[in-house]
Amino acid sequence: MTIPIKGRRIALIGGAGFIGHNLALKLKALGADVHIIDGLSVNNLLYFASANEQVENRKLYLDIINQRLDMLRKNEIPVHVQDARDYHLLNKALKDINPDVIVHLAAIAHANKSNKDPFSTFDHSLRTLENALDYARGNVEHFIYFSSSMVYGNFTNGIVDEETVCNPLGIYGALKFSGEKMVIGYNQVFDLPYTIVRPSALYGARCVSRRVGQIFIENAFNGKEIMIMGDGSDALDFTYIDDFCQGIIKCVERKAARNEIFNITYGEARAFSEMAEILKDYFGKLDVKYVPKDKLMPDRGTLSVDKARDLIGYEPEFELKKGYLEYIEWYQELFDGMK
């Protein structure tokens, strides 16, 4: 059964970030009444604008974030600037919006930062989630939670599906898996309909999260070396943002997504060395350096998307070369516009 997107009121908590603003724009284009709740502090405007933070590429990332906010304004998507850690103020904001669907994105979306600062990670991930869940029970039709491929830990056979036993490594994966259990618990106790999605290695326009594909491109444009952890053979299921957003939209509009967990990825792992080769083809020359792999980074691979394909009609379209070239060309236009 399909539920029309048009006219549905959807609240994206933590929705002014890389994933959220892309999703908001696509939902709005389909006629949804989209609202964003975001404190703009985690990897966002306030963080990069603060003189107290020592960050790379400050001006570039502020320009990118302002692009996001301008696009949201032009598309009449309201941004409610509110810290989701505050139970009472988040509750008030959600009551004012009165959403049919909540999509929970708020988190520290970086494994290395999570392992270095577990308190902040807990605060921005589980605290915000519990606050959102407590409003959602009895008030919304559907709650969508963004988990991570990191919940699986090491991919012992190079491929995982949703039935694979989860054994996360480090703080980030453990907190994401804890979040899944909280969401399922609210369904068991309060009958809150949910969908849990597990993305992997997302990339695409207007990201400031210092993800691997982003760092590679920025270093290539600036004539810096590309640093690859390990020998280059390690592989991730790189997923273009348009594919991921398509998957979330399918989750919103298909009743078959209710009370299910889905891998929403491209569905095929590619090695870091292959990503570097795409850059070499574009730039002609690239200086690659291999460095030791972080011991808390699990051996990953392919996430099967067969379940999402069968139940909700998810069909990813952007294999790495296609999606990564689009991402490189977006950066080319961005840098050309700054000259």
- 181-200 average pLDDT score: 98
How many of the other CB atoms lie within 10 Å of CB of 269? 22
Determine whether 145 is exposed, middle or buried from the number of CB atoms within 10 Å of its CB (0-12, 13-18, 19+): buried
Regarding pTM above 0.85, the answer is: yes
Residue 233 has pLDDT above 90, yes or no: no
Domains and CATH numbers, the chain: 9-202+240-267+298-319 (3.40.50.720)
CB 200 within 8 A of CB 320: no
Summarised one tens digit per residue, pLDDT across range 280-331 is: 999 988 888 888 877 777 889 999 999 999 999 999 999 999 999 999 999 9
Residue 20 Ramachandran class (φ > 0 left, ψ -120 to 50 alpha, else beta): alpha
- 138-162 average pLDDT score: 96
Summarised one tens digit per residue, pLDDT across range 169-188 is: 988 899 999 999 999 999 99
Q: What are phi and psi of 81, to 5 degrees?
A: -80, 100
235-236 and 270-271 strand pairing: antiparallel
Annotate 205-244 with DSSP letters as a single string: TT--S--HHHHHHHHHHTTPPEEEETTS--EE--EEHHHH
User: What pLDDT shows up at residue 113?
Assistant: 67
Q: What are phi and psi of 103, to 5 degrees?
A: -110, 120
Summarised one tens digit per residue, pLDDT across range 60-105 is: 999 999 999 999 999 999 999 999 999 999 999 999 999 999 999 9
E strands present in the chain = 9-13, 33-38, 79-81, 101-104, 142-146, 159-160, 194-198, 202-203, 226-229, 235-236, 239-240, 260-263, 270-271, 288-291, 302-303
Q: What are phi and psi of 263, to 5 degrees?
A: -75, 120
User: Whats the size of the chain, residue-wise?
Assistant: 339
**Better pLDDT: 274 or 115:** 274
User: What pLDDT shows up at residue 110?
Assistant: 65
Residue 256 has pLDDT above 90, yes or no: yes
Cα 268 to Cα 155: distance, rounded to the nearest angstrom: 13
C-alpha distances in Å from residue 196, one per residue of 31, 63, 136: 24, 32, 15
Q: What percent of the chain has pLDDT over 90?
A: 77
C-alpha distances in Å from residue 193, one per residue of 55, 101, 287, 308: 40, 10, 49, 17
- 258-277 average pLDDT score: 96
Confidence of residue 111 (pLDDT cuts 50, 70, 90): low
User: What pLDDT shows up at residue 121?
Assistant: 81
**Better pLDDT: 289 or 20:** 20
User: What pLDDT shows up at residue 22?
Assistant: 98
